[in-house]
Amino acid sequence: MNYLRDLKAIVQINSYTKNKPGVDKVGKVFDDWFSELGFNIKIYDRELIGSHRYYTSKHDKNSKRLLLLGHLDTVFPEGKFEDYSEEEDWIYGPGVCDMKGGNIVALAALRELKKQNIEIQNIDILLVSDEETGSDDSKTLTAELAKKYDYCFVYEAAGVNLEVVTGRKGVGTFFIDIQGKAAHAGNSYTDGHDANLEASYKLQELVRLTDLSKGTTVNVGKIEGGIGANTISPHANLVFELRYKNSDERDRVLHSIDDIVAKSYVKGTISTLRGGIQRDVMQTSKESLRLVESIEKITGTSLKTEERGGVSDANIVSSSGVITLDGFGPFGDGDHTINERASKESFVSRIELSKKLFVYFIKNSDFK
């Protein structure tokens, strides 16, 4: 299991999103590995974050094309969580499941093809550097490159029963800035326009947009405002998040947010809205379910599916019209914590699954 040795090597390199040297160091390791498999390398250089990596194989104009998608960055700054360890059934360390482990699954499966003297073609890999902070830089690149492909497999972690992911909620982050008017709370109370009070009304209206029966949530996660107890608040702001399962709910909530921002519940206050949709919804489709059925026939494996509330770059590719499945990485849990771990057995099964799919994809034009 040389792939575990490789996983250890990259896990021990800190690749916190804001640690550009560390992210690029991991990227250069993958450059070497994919170069050995015959991939061409294109690097999208970035000044403040790690550079994005795009590995391309030989293309047949008449064949369908498959994109494998992953990310290089992890969530912990240097010195916080950098250890790698193993026991009989589990591997521990930053990124072992999210998602250096997933990248290793894709790499190991492609290496199996080379061992069988199968030329890799029509399969490309994109590894971005800023997924953990929302892919603000890479999402435009990902969406543009996605247009070249018929299918995309994303190597985020598998479900507890090795499910693949057919749907993910869309997510948006928003900020409401409220301008009021300061006044002395004792001598000139009625002269003020209370921004904090306005924020309280808006908070309640925003939360009322939640509809759990439809999977829609609006969470006001942060509220700030005011100067002190003796001053009518001249300013306040709200930070909130929207998550939704379909485009109808997205449109309903976005329209209502505009109405809430435009209305002054407290006379004299003025509000402005910033932010927007970060990653649009990845909806389960007939095409994605049909692809799952094909994978089961190709691999002789029963494949369970699930939808997740969390987002990934699968949202971006799916929103570009590409048939997308996520969760091809190993099973793990504790991601984004110091207890992150990945199942050793799941690496074996996921590598075998990907290998079978890659072989079939290369040799058969009827992949669908």
**The predicted structure's pLDDT at residue 248:** 96
Residue 60 pLDDT grade (very low, low, confident, very high; cuts 50, 70, 90): confident
**The predicted structure's pLDDT at residue 351:** 98
Does the pLDDT of residue 109 top 90, yes or no? yes
Torsion of CA 57, 141, 102, 295, to 10 degrees: -70
- Phi/psi region, residue 37 (left: phi>0; alpha: psi -120 to 50; beta: rest), is alpha
**The predicted structure's pLDDT at residue 42:** 98
Per-residue burial over 245-283, b = 16 or more CB atoms within 10 Å of its CB, e = otherwise: bbeebbebbbeebeebbeeeebeebebeeeeebbbbbbb
Residue 61 pLDDT grade (very low, low, confident, very high; cuts 50, 70, 90): confident
Q: What residue segments make up the domains of the chain, in order of their start? A: 2-168+281-363, 170-279
Q: What is the pTM of this model?
A: 0.91
**The predicted structure's pLDDT at residue 278:** 92
CATH 3.40.630.10 fits 2-168+281-363, yes or no: yes
CATH 3.40.50.300 fits 170-279, yes or no: no
